Structures are given as C-alpha cells and as structure tokens.
Structure 1
Amino acid sequence: MEQYKIDQLTQYLQTLKITENTTSSMRKYLKKEANKFTIYRDILYRYNTENGIIRKVLNKKEAEEIMFAYHQHPLGGHLAYNNTLHKISSRYYWDNMSQDIMNYVKKCYRCQMHGKKTLKEELYPVAVSAKPFDRVALDVKHIILQNMWKRDPYDFKMHQK
C-alpha cells in the first residue's frame, strides 16, 4: 500500500477527521474503507470482517522485504505462488497483494528453472443421467454366499457404475 494512503488512514482513524488538503478520491476511500482498518500501538492493521483475522498493513518497501523473506530466503523455501500467498496473506496486507506475489514468483530465477510445471490436461465431460438411479447397479457376486450364512435377505451391496 502506498505510504500516503497508510498515513491518511492512520490520521483519519486517530482523529476521525479528514483534513482539508485530502483529495476527493481519498475522501471517498476513507469513508468507504476505514471501517476495515484499526490501529494498535501506532501500527495500522486491516480487519477482515468475515473471519476476524487482523493483518498488518505494509507499504511497498516492506512488502518487497516480506516477499523476499517468505519466498527467497533460505527459510522461505521457494514455495511457488499459492503457498507463498497463503503464508504472507495470513499475517500481512497491502493493495494488489496477490498480483504482486504472482509477479515476484514469476521473476524468481530458481523457481523458473527448477519449479514443477503446472499440468493443464484436457477435461473430459461426465455424462449426466436423465433419470434418477439410472447409474445405480447391484453387485450380485457375493449375495448368495453371504446371505446363506447370515440369513439376511437384505444384505447386499450397491455401487455406482
């Protein structure tokens, strides 16, 4: 997130006032998005209202450092896009985070040379039956022997074709 936006959000959340030199687009942003942010010990956090997770808001420089630490650092592990995004997004937030992480992983030389290729296999459609229970079959191979000993005429197995 841009440092200007972080500063504006921090000032607005601390004073609940919008300064006169704030642009109209920033005013709209503050009114619309401010309820998703909170400040704790002078650090801006984003609050996810759906799952209650609070994540630290980073500027672009901090985001670069975090992407390096979570992806290229020896303890980062070069975990490709999905795992890197999951690890970072569980603790941090910045605008366009997923796109930035994707670009970072795409530019990683080691991942491009040694990473697994994503297989894009053709999908085959599955036929949908027209009637209910059209694809249900009865396995009669063991019914006779099993029922002779158990004397249970309803002990049989059903499976899908």
Structure 2
Amino acid sequence: MDPMVEYLKDGKLPTDPVRSSKIRKEASKYTLIEQRLYRRGFSSPLLKCVDTGEAEYIIKEVHEGGRALAGKIARAGYYWPTLKADCMDYVKKCDTCQRFADSHQVPAEQMHTVTSPWPFHKWGIDILGPFPLVPGQFKFLMVAVDYFTKWIEVEPMATITVERVKRFIWKRIICRFGLPAEIVSDNGTQFASSATAKFCQELHIRQSFTSVEHPQANGQAEAANRIILRGL
C-alpha cells in the first residue's frame, strides 16, 4: 500500500513504468483520511486498508465458517489487495471448515452471548453534559464506543443537533473505521429523529434504541462515559 499512499500524498510514483501506470489507474479508487488509506467501496462508502499483520488478525476475528468470509470482512469495513485469496487460503487450512462447511453436523458448542461479532460492527453512542462552558463554548461531549474492541471516540460540542450527530457518525465512525452494521443509542430527539433515521437507512445502518430512563441497556456507552467522567 505504501506506493499508493506516496502517490496520493506527494504525487510520487515508482520508477518502474508498469507499476507507475497501475497506480495511476487505481488511484481513483482510494483516498487518504488523516494519513490512513481507504478504498472506495460499492457496499459501503469507505473501506479501511490494512497491512498484513492487521489482515491476519481480522480474518481470525471474522472467521466463522467456509462461506462468504471475504464478504463479511468487506462489510465490516476493511480492504487489502489480497483479501479474497487470503480468505480462501485461510479456509483451506481451517480443519473445521474442511470437515463441516457443507454439513449441518457441526459439533455443538456451549451457548454464549455475543455482543458484536467483529471489530467496528456495532457501536454505542451517547451524549454527556451539559458541562461548565470551556473555550470554544463547548459544553457537551459526543461519545461513541465500539462494542468489540472497546475503542472510544469523543468530540466536544457547543450544541447537540441532528446535523451534528450525523456529522459525528460520518466523521468519527464511518470515515475512520468503515460502515457499521448497527448503532445503539437512547431514544433522545437527536438520535430518534426522522432525519437521523433516514441517514442511517440510506447507509444500511440498523438503529437500536434504549430508554433514556434505562441507559444501562447501552452498557458499552455507559462504561465509556464513566471512564471519561473520571478523567474530567
């Protein structure tokens, strides 16, 4: 991925004419956001490009069987050039897939709760404040936490509006981590509005709501809030 990053950032191309021509042709499919490379996708706005080490980790986390592994990873918001080939190779080496992928006789396992099947698939989002005014007239914090990795995104805000919520989701979640499958929030006006619902529907993001009176149902966001408040 380094040659593509260099071309998008500084306009530099490899000396090899074949590689140089290929990068020029492929460049329109990629973009740089905060020094991270993203590929423009069909099923989601942007897919985060990852290196070999990250790719191996993602395959292991997303892998559930012998079918559609590459599709699951793409829907989770990731991309690397050898994605499909790596998935096929991984499945070929997986003993369980080879024995049971086309069978309904997979050995039974102990039932357990899965809050999110892979990184950045499901996010909890919440609003903290109002706090005493600080420079910039900020008095609220918008908080999002990934259910799988527990990664937290925070942004200070002067006011909380539907447009600010949409912009936060786009900038802090989608552009950085890819398109999520689900966002959990309370049913406050900013989250449950028709404009927010339309925004999520157009991006095929499922909205799940908890009651404002029972915020503990959005456990990940509440846990993140406690961590942030301890640091204030």
**TM-score, L = length of structure 1:** 0.56
Alignment of 1:19-98 (within 5 A): 22-48=15-41, 50=42, 53-71=45-63, 78-82=64-68, 84-90=69-75, 91-98=77-84
State the identity %. Answer: 32
What is the CA–CA distance in structure 2 between the aligned matches of 1:67 and 1:86, rounded to whole Å? 11
Counterpart in 2 of 1:14?
Answer: 9
CA distance in 2, matches of 1:80, 1:112: 8
Unaligned runs of 5+ in 1: 1-5, 72-77, 119-161
The CA RMSD over aligned residues, in Å, is 2.1
Tell me which stretches of 4 or more aligned residues in structure 1 moved more than 4 Å. none
The alpha-carbon deviation at position 117 of structure 1 amounts to 3.8
Summarize deviations over 1:112-161 as a string: whole Å, max 9, x none: 2333349xxxxxxxxxxxxxxxxxxxxxxxxxxxxxxxxxxxxxxxxxxx
Give the AA of the match of 1:43: R
C-alpha separation in 1, matches of 2:25 and 2:52: 22
Query: Any idea what SS the aligned residue of 1:67 has?
Result: helix
The answer on whether the counterparts of 1:47 and 1:54 sit within 8 Å (CA) in structure 2 is: yes
The answer to whether the Cα contact below 8 Å between 1:81 and 1:102 also exists between their aligned partners in 2 is no
Q: How far is the alpha carbon of 1:59 from its aligned partner?
A: 2.3
Q: For 1:67 and 1:51, locate their aligned partners in 2 and report how far apart those are by CA, in whole Å.
A: 19
Counterparts of 2:74 and 2:7, CA distance in 1: 24
TM-score, length-scaled by structure 2 = 0.40
- Distance (Å, rounded) in 2 between the aligned partners of 1:29 and 1:16: 14
TM-aligned CA deviation for residue 52 of structure 1: 5.5
CA contact (8 A) 1:81 1:101 kept: no
Decide whether aligned partners of structure 1 residues 115 and 31 sit closer, same or farther in structure 2, where only a CA change above 3 A counts. closer
Query: What letter corresponds to residue 88 of structure 1 in structure 2?
Result: I
Are residues 70 and 51 of structure 1, via their aligned partners in 2, closer, same or farther at CA, if it must alter by over 3 Å? closer
Moved more, 98-107 or 28-37: 98-107
Structure-2 separation of matches of 1:8 and 1:96: 16
**Structure 2 gap segments, 5+ residues each:** 105-232
Structure with greater Cα Rg: 1
Structure having the higher strand fraction is: 2
Q: 1:112 to 1:52 in 2, by over 3 A?
A: closer
Rounded to whole Å, the distance in 2 between the matches of 1:98 and 1:81 is 12
Quick check: 1:38–1:46 contact (8 Å CA) kept in 2? yes
Query: C-alpha separation between the residues in 1 aligned to 2:82 and 2:8?
Result: 22
Does the C-alpha gap of structure 1 residues 81 and 102 become closer, same or farther in structure 2, counting only changes over 3 Å?
farther
Contact kept, 8 Å, 2:65 with 2:101, in 1: the verdict is no
